[in-house]
Structure 1
Amino acid sequence: MASGREMPIFLKAQRRGYEGFNEETESNWNGPFYFIQGADPQLGLMKAWRSGDCDSGGDEWQEEVQLTGQTVQAINNLTVKPRFFVLCGDLVHGMPGTLWHEEQKRDLKEVLKCTDAEVPLVFVSGNHDIGNTPTADTILQYCESWGDDYFSFWVGGVLFLVLNSQFFHDASSCPELKQAHDQWLNAQLAAAECKKSKHVIVFQHIPLFLQDPDEENGYFNLEKSLRRDLLQRFQKAGVNAVFSGHYHQNAGGRFNDLDMVVTSAIGCQLGQDKHGVRVVAVTEEHIHHKYISLDELNDVTVDEVLSFPTEVNAPKPHLQ
C-alpha cells in the first residue's frame, strides 16, 4: 500500500528548481556536455496494446521493467556519465486512481533507484501520470512521487525548462493551476530573453507538432492555434529545441531556428523504431542529438556523442 510519507529514493525537483542545478552554480559555460533523454517507459502498455485493451488493460509490465532496467544499466556502464537523464512523461500506463497505477509506480522506482548516483534523474509529467484531464489531486500525487510538475534548472550555461504539457491539452478541472503554470512560464520566457545562456531547451511530454508546424490537430500534437502561439513565444525567448515523447515513434521538424524533437519510447513502440533513448550533445554553437537503441547504447563513446553531425537537426520524419 502506498504511504502518504514516501521516503525519497532520488533527488526530485522542488520549489520550481532542482538541487545542484541552479543559476548560481551552473550559469557559466564550461565546455561541451551531454545528457540522455528517454520517454514513455509506460509500464503496462505493451501487453495492453497487444490485447487491444489500452483503456482498462495494463495488468502486466515485466517487459517494461526489463527495458527500463536495461536502460539504467547501459547508462551506468558509460565511461563518462551524462550530466542527467530526463524521462519525458508517461512513466506508467495506469491512469491515476486506476487499479495498477500505484504498483507500476513502485516497480518503476525500484528500477530507477539503481541509476548511478552521478546521473541525476529529471522527470516530466505525461498524461498517464496525471490524467488526460488532470485535477489538483492527481497533480499533487504526481509531485509527491516524482517532484514538481514544472520547473527550471541550469546545466553548464544552458537553461532548461520542464513544462506540464497537459495544461495545454485540458486544464478544465484545474484552471487555477494552469494559470499559475502560465504565469510562471511567462516569467521564465521573459527572463530567458535577458539572460546570456548558451542555449534554452524545453522538455514536455506532448509534442508541439510531429513533422510540420502547420499540420492538422491530432492526439499526438497540440492544438494548432496554441501551438503557433507557443512556437512564437519560444522563439522570441531564444528557445533552441523542444524535446518530447508521447508519440512512441521518432519524429520532428523545425520552426525557423527552433528544433522540435520527438523521441520514441523506452517501452511500447507504435512504429518501426527500436526501444531506445536519445543522446543529446550540447556544444557552444549547436545541439546535436541522435536516437540510439538500448542494445547500442553501451557502445556509445563521448567522442562519438560530441561529433554527431548537425544534420540530425534537419527536418525529417525520423530524426535518426
Structure 2
Amino acid sequence: MTDGAEMFHRATGRSFKGFSAEEEGEWKGPFYFVQAADPQLGLMKAWAIGDTDNGGDEWEQEVLLTEKAIQAVNRLTPLPRFMAICGDLIHAMPGTQWREAQERDLKNVLQKVNPAIPLVFVSGNHDLGNTPSAQTVTDYCRSWGDDYFSFWVGGVLFLVLNSQLFFDSSACPELQQEHDAWLSQQLEEASQRKCRHVVVFQHIPLFVNSFEEEHDYFNLKRRVRQELLGKFRKAGVKAVFSGHCHRNAGGVHDGVDMVVTSAVGQQLGDDTHGLRIVVVTEEKVAHQYYSLDELRDGGMGSEMRELLGATLS
C-alpha cells in the first residue's frame, strides 16, 4: 500500500513528482494510461431519493465500484504509466456535512492502487464548489495536491487544468488570472518544444457533443471554449479528456479531440460504470471506453493492444 501523504500530493509546485521534462521529456515508444472520472461518493443515494444537494449520506455503492475499478487497473498487463481521475472525487460540496467522511473513505480505497501506478487528480466542481473561492482551492490542494499543473511522460506534455475557474471565477478572479497566465506560458513552451503530443485533462468539457452547442451546466461558455480551442490548436494539443457529464460523449473540432468520459459512479446516460484506456503512439492518441466488467474479464481490447505493439513484450 502506497504511503498516503505521498500518493495524494505528487502534484506540487505546478509539477508532478517523477514526471519531469528531465526524466520523461524524450519519446521512448508507445505507452498507455487510464482515465477515470466522477467516482463522486454520495451521488447515487442522493440521486435515488431526488435530493442531490443534501441526500448523499450513504456511499457504499461508490466505494465498491471504485474498488472494482482499482482491481481492474491493477490486473492490467503491462501496468499503465499512470491513472488520471478527472474530477468530482466526492459528492459533498465544500463546507457540507458528509465531505470529510467521503474524502476519508475514498482515500482508503485509492490506497489499494498498485504503487507503481501514479494517480493524477483533476479538480471538479464538487471538489471546489460551483463557485470556487481561495479557501476551497486551498482546502482541495491540502487534500489532493495542486489544482493545476503539468507533467511529462515519454515525450508527451500533459496539462491538468482547473476548469472551474473557466466556469465561474467570480469569487476568486485573481486565481483565474494566475491560472490563465500559467496556461499561456505552458502552451507557448509546448509550441516551441519538440514534444510528441500535448494532452489536456480538465473536469468540465469544452463542449459535450458539438462546438456550436449552447452553454449549460455541462459545458463551458462558447466564448471561453472558442478562446481555449484556439490556444490549444496553436500549441498542438491533440486531445482534451474530461468527465462531469456521467456519460460518454465528445467530438473533434479543428483537430482537437474533445473526449467526455462517463463515470465510475452514478450514470446519467446509457453507459455502464467504466474506465477509458488511452494509448499514445508516435502518430496519435487513441482511446476506448471499457465497462468495469469488460476490464475484469479480459483487460483492454485487441485493437488497443496492437497499438501498443512491442511495449507488451
Q: Same fold (TM over 0.5)?
A: yes
Matches within 5 A, 1:55-204: 55-204=53-202
Q: Read off the aligned partner of 2:253 and give its amino acid letter.
A: F
Alignment size in residue pairs? 304
| 1: CA distance, partners of 2:131 / 2:305 | 40
Give structure 1 stretches of 5+ with no counterpart: 1-5, 310-320
Distance 1:23 1:280 in 2: 21
Q: 1:302 Cα shift? A: 7.8
Give the Å deviation of 1:278. 0.5
Note the alpha carbon deviations across 1:134-189, whole angstroms, 9 max, x for none. 11111011001000000000000000000000000111111111111011001001
For residues 236 and 306 of structure 1, the distance between their equivalents in structure 2, rounded to whole angstroms, comes to: 31
Alignment partner, residue 286 of structure 1: 284
Match of 2:52 in 1: 54
Residue of structure 2 in register with 1:273 after alignment = 271
Paired with 1:303 and 1:126, the residues of 2 have a C-alpha distance of 32
Equivalence for 2:29: 31
Deviation of 1:16 after TM superposition, in Å, equals 0.3
Range 291-300 or range 14-23, more displaced: 291-300
TM-score (norm: length of structure 2) = 0.95
Structure 2: distance between partners of 1:94 and 1:189: 33
Kept in 1: contact 2:65–2:265 (CA 8 A): yes
How far is 1:287 from its partner? Answer: 0.8
Alignment match of 1:224 (pick from 222, 225, 241): 222
Amino acid at match of 1:150: Y
* TM-score in terms of structure 1 length: 0.93
Q: Deviations over 1:210-251 (max 9, x none)?
A: 111111111100001111111111000100000000000000
> The residue matched to 1:36 in structure 2 has which SS?
strand
| Mapped contact 1:32–1:306 kept (Cα < 8 A) | no
Paired AA for residue 152 in structure 2: W
**2-structure distance, mates of 1:22, 1:187:** 16
Query: Match for 2:277: what amino acid?
Result: V
Q: 2: distance between equivalents of 1:54 and 1:94?
A: 9
Shift of residue 303, structure 1, vs aligned partner: 5.5
Does the 8 Å contact 1:58/1:100 carry over to 2? yes
Structure 2 residues not aligned, in runs of 5+: 309-313
In structure 2, the residue corresponding to 1:261 is in which secondary structure?
A: strand
Q: How does 1:304-315 map to 2 (within 5 A)?
A: 304-307=303-306
- The one-letter code of the counterpart of 1:79 is T
**How far did residue 25 of structure 1 move?**
1.0
Residues in 1 aligned to 2:217 and 2:21: alpha-carbon distance in whole angstroms:
36
Alpha-carbon contact 1:189-1:234 (below 8 Å) kept: yes
Q: Which residue of 1 aligns with 2:12?
A: 14
Structure 1's 153 and 302: CA in aligned 2 closer, same or farther, altered over 3 A? farther
Counterpart of 1:214 (choices 212, 215, 228) is 212
The one-letter amino acid paired with 2:66 is T
- Structure 2 vs 1, CA of residues 141 and 88 (structure 1 numbering), >3 Å: closer, same or farther? same
Question: Sequence identity, in percent?
Answer: 60
SS of residue paired to 1:96: coil
Rounded to whole Å, the distance in 2 between the matches of 1:274 and 1:27 is 36
| Native 8 Å contact 1:283 1:306 kept in 2 | no
- The one-letter code matched in structure 2 to 1:31 is G
Asked if residue 233 in structure 1 is aligned to residue 198 in structure 2, the reply is no
CA-CA distance at 1:8 after TM superposition: 4.3
Distance 2:13 2:178 in 1: 13
